[in-house]
């Protein structure tokens, strides 16, 4: 390892006129050993000026970086009025205050350029964090792949061009600003999209499934308005959504035994039902009628009902057929519905954000990509992953029926503090993302239950992958979801489990989008091969943070607690033996487990769900404990090191101090060897 001279660091600090005293110590932090510098400023007045303190820290760190190796620059600089002393007049090191870990081991450095300030403002808005520093890490602050889409969308609305891939590769404001560029972006047709749209893999999955009543397979929200809604204005706002988001005008017909998607020529004008109710007990019956009213061939595939209750309150149900909407789409639609209604309410014409690339363009690009040599090379990966694996589960009643009418759900929650730690503190230890943590805990529980060394989980992702430079789908509505099986192999200890599963998830090409393309659009050989391999009996879908859709002070809606009716026909098959959906609302992670009551006893799945919640709490405690840290080979893809070699390296150098690892150049090799 490197030799760290604390006295030399102190000397470099004290040679600055603004520093009267300086002490540097090393501390055990969540990411390994870290240096902390304690300073008594020459001017005590600075202790009352937070901005001046931030500037001083940045100035001193810049000075140290010019005089010392990077590994000798303290992670923290803490300003004190005076150094604590023992009764003998010596420095009392135990009385030095611990650094504030609430900022995730980063001193706050204010963004300096206009671009950095704009990006920081966007992060603060979507992450619900009061302030974002130049070196704060997006994923350690609770960011995920779904939120990254919102960041890209809002940046582009401000004329800043970045991609989701940029955000994954440059996870700080400082790094992201270095690759962001200002431009008008793509020129995208703003008129109505017309004609046919090819089916995507997830739409092929829907039509291949044995669903008796295909018209009744929806997603919906039941909302409680925060102010009385005007039905006329609301109808106009909903009609504007159908004009803005072309997928809502799609219809589906079966022609010569083949399902085809076609855009309706006209935008429906009247899309809002009105219903007068005596009390809340009547809501579900009205909602059930609306949920069953959609028609694939006639369209539109959106139905909305404004319910007026006798007590003066209102409810708004919006139901949309799942063929044209997904979780990310709902965020866009709710935002645009509120914007359009507010504009009409103040007497202004509706002016929504510019359209992004159409779902039709996306579908056509996928058709071409499905037959590309790049994608064909992925087939071997999926075959290797799924060969000779067993995805059967310990069913209580193996022959039980699995339809929606047999569905039972149990749920567990993490409290606000555990959820915050999961999102904002736990990822730093092993450079993970939220899905890595959720799936590590899940795989450990499932393998204990089945007695197997590995498990196959069918993952659902948002599917809006950064594949095509000439498309921008950040604000496009449609069913983009990807579904793909992944083999997960937890180890005996938590550390090894986290490292192994993180690497298994990182190894999935393009976040799994290729699986569906090969399975439904690929060559006949690819389709046949994947059809015969395990698909995963457990489906897992992390839906992200929904708080931002409803928490604005001026928001028109909050979620209503009453039933919004049956989204799916009761004869429709269940997605899987067990479906697990996770989402954050009200600052709490909610985990819902859905299964057939004729296949599993409710008590069996309840025990499993509770064990999962407990395992997550154990994982959070592990990741936030002092000394818990680690890196994995795909953190440093150029180095070509194995996990064992990395573990040996980080035994001497704290992983938090390693920014990157590169192979030696030929000249460097000649000098050293």
Q: pLDDT per residue over 539-562, tens digit each?
A: 999 988 765 555 555 688 888 989
Q: How many independent structural domains does the chain possess?
A: 5
Domain hosting residue 304, numbered range: 196-360
Q: How far is CA 571 from the centre of its chain?
A: 32
Predicted pLDDT of residue 28? 58
Residue in this structure with the two tokens 């070699």, named with its chain if needed: 645
My answer on whether 580 and 434 are in the same domain is: yes
Please state at what angle helix 602-624 crosses helix 434-450, rounded to 10 degrees: 130
Predicted pLDDT of residue 183? 75
**Helix (H/G/I), strand (E/B), else coil: 221:** strand
My answer on whether 147 and 276 are in the same domain is: no
- Determine the Cα angle at 519 with ends 517 and 523, to 5°: 85
My answer on whether 260 and 166 are in the same domain is: no
CA distance 648 to 558: 52
The answer to the question of residue 557 being in a domain is: no
The answer to the question of residue 373 being in a domain is: no
My answer on whether 257 and 272 are in the same domain is: yes
What single DSSP character describes residue 137? B
CA distance 341 to 280: 25
C-alpha pair distances (Å), 154 with each of 29, 141, 151, 474, 668: 35, 18, 5, 9, 44
My answer on whether 625 and 651 are in the same domain is: no
Question: Which of 82, 62, 78 lies closest to 70 in space, CA to CA?
Answer: 62
Q: Residue 480: what are its φ and ψ, rounded to 5°?
A: -95, -5
Predicted pLDDT of residue 383? 95
Q: In which residue ranges of the chain is pLDDT below 70?
A: 1-4, 28-34, 70-71, 100-107, 185, 546-554, 673
CA distance 661 to 454: 31
- Determine the Cα angle at 633 with ends 661 and 439, to 5°: 135
The sign one gets for the Cα dihedral 562, 567, 571, 572 is: negative
State the CATH number of the domain containing residue 137: 1.10.1200.10
| Digit-coded pLDDT (tens) for 194-229 | 999 999 999 999 999 999 999 999 999 999 999 999
My answer on whether 171 and 274 are in the same domain is: no
My answer on whether 142 and 63 are in the same domain is: no
For 208, the enclosing helix (H) or strand (E) is helix 201-208
Last residue of a domain, one of 328, 360, 392: 360
My answer on whether 293 and 222 are in the same domain is: yes
DSSP notation for 70-100: GGGS-SEEEE-SS--B-TTSSB-GGGSPPP-
**Helix (H/G/I), strand (E/B), else coil: 350:** coil
Per-residue tokens: 519:
């399975």
For 262, the enclosing helix (H) or strand (E) is strand 258-263
**Helix (H/G/I), strand (E/B), else coil: 34:** strand
């Amino acid at each position: 390892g490197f030799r760290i001279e604390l006295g030399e660091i102190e000397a470099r600090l004290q040679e600055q006129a603004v520093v009267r005293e300086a002490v540097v110590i090393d501390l055990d932090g969540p990411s390994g050993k870290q240096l902390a510098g304690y300073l008594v400023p020459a001017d005590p007045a600075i202790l009352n000026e937070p901005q001046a303190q931030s500037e001083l820290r940045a100035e001193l760190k810049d000075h140290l970086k010019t005089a010392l190796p990077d590994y000798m620059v303290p992670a923290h600089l803490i300003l004190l009025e005076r150094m604590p002393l023992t009764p003998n007049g010596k420095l009392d090191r135990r009385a030095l205050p611990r650094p504030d870990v609430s900022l995730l081991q980063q001193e706050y450095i204010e963004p300096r350029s206009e671009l950095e300030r704009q990006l920081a403002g966007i992060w603060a808005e979507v992450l619900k964090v009061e302030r974002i520093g130049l070196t704060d890490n997006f994923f350690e602050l609770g960011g995920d792949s779904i939120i990254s889409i919102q960041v890209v969308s809002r940046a582009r609305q401000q004329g800043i061009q970045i991609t989701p891939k940029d955000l994954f590769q440059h996870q700080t404001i400082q790094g992201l600003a270095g690759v962001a560029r200002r431009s008008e972006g793509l020129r995208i047709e703003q008129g109505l999209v017309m004609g046919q749209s090819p089916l995507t893999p997830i739409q092929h999955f829907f039509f291949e499934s044995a669903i008796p009543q295909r018209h009744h397979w929806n997603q919906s929200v039941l909302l409680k308005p925060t102010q009385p809604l005007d039905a006329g204005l609301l109808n106009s706002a909903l009609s504007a959504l159908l004009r803005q988001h072309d997928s809502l005008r799609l219809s589906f017909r079966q022609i010569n035994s083949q399902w085809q998607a076609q855009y309706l020529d006209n935008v429906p004008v009247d899309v809002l039902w009105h219903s007068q109710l005596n009390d809340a007990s009547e809501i579900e019956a009205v909602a059930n009628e609306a949920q069953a009213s959609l028609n694939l061939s006639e369209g539109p595939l959106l139905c909305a009902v404004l319910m007026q209750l006798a007590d003066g309150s209102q409810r708004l149900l919006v139901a949309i057929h799942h063929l044209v909407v997904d979780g990310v789409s709902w965020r866009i639609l709710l935002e645009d519905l509120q914007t359009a209604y507010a504009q009409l309410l103040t007497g202004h014409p509706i002016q929504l954000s510019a359209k992004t690339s159409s779902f039709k363009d996306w579908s056509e690009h996928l058709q071409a990509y499905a037959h590309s040599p790049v994608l064909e090379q992925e087939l071997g990966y999926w075959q290797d992953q799924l060969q000779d694996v067993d995805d059967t589960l310990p069913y209580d009643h193996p022959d039980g029926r699995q339809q929606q009418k047999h569905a039972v759900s149990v749920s567990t929650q993490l409290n606000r503090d555990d959820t915050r730690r999961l999102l904002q503190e736990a990822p730093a230890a092993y450079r993970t993302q939220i899905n890595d943590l959720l799936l590590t805990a899940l795989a450990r529980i499932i393998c204990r239950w089945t007695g197997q060394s590995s498990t196959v989980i069918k993952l659902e992702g948002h599917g809006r992958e950064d594949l095509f430079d000439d498309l921008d789908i950040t604000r496009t509505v449609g069913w983009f979801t990807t579904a793909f099986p992944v083999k997960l192999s937890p180890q005996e200890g938590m550390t090894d489990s986290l490292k192994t599963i993180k690497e298994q998830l990182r190894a999935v090409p393009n976040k799994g989008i290729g699986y569906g393309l090969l399975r439904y659009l690929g060559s006949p050989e690819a389709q046949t091969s994947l059809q015969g391999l395990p698909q995963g009996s457990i489906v897992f879908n992390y839906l992200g943070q929904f708080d931002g859709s409803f928490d604005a002070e001026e928001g028109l809606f909050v979620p209503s607690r009453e039933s919004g009716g049956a989204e799916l026909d009761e004869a429709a098959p269940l997605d899987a033996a067990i479906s697990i959906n996770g989402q954050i609302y009200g600052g709490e992670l909610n985990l819902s487990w859905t299964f057939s009551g004729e296949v599993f006893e409710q008590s069996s799945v309840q025990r499993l769900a509770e064990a999962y919640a407990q395992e997550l709490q154990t994982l959070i405690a592990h990741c936030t404990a002092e000394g818990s840290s680690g890196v994995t080979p795909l953190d440093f893809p150029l180095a070509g090191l194995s996990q064992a070699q990395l573990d040996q390296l980080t035994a001497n150098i704290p992983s938090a101090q390693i920014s990157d690892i590169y192979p030696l150049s030929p000249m460097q090799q000649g000098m050293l060897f």
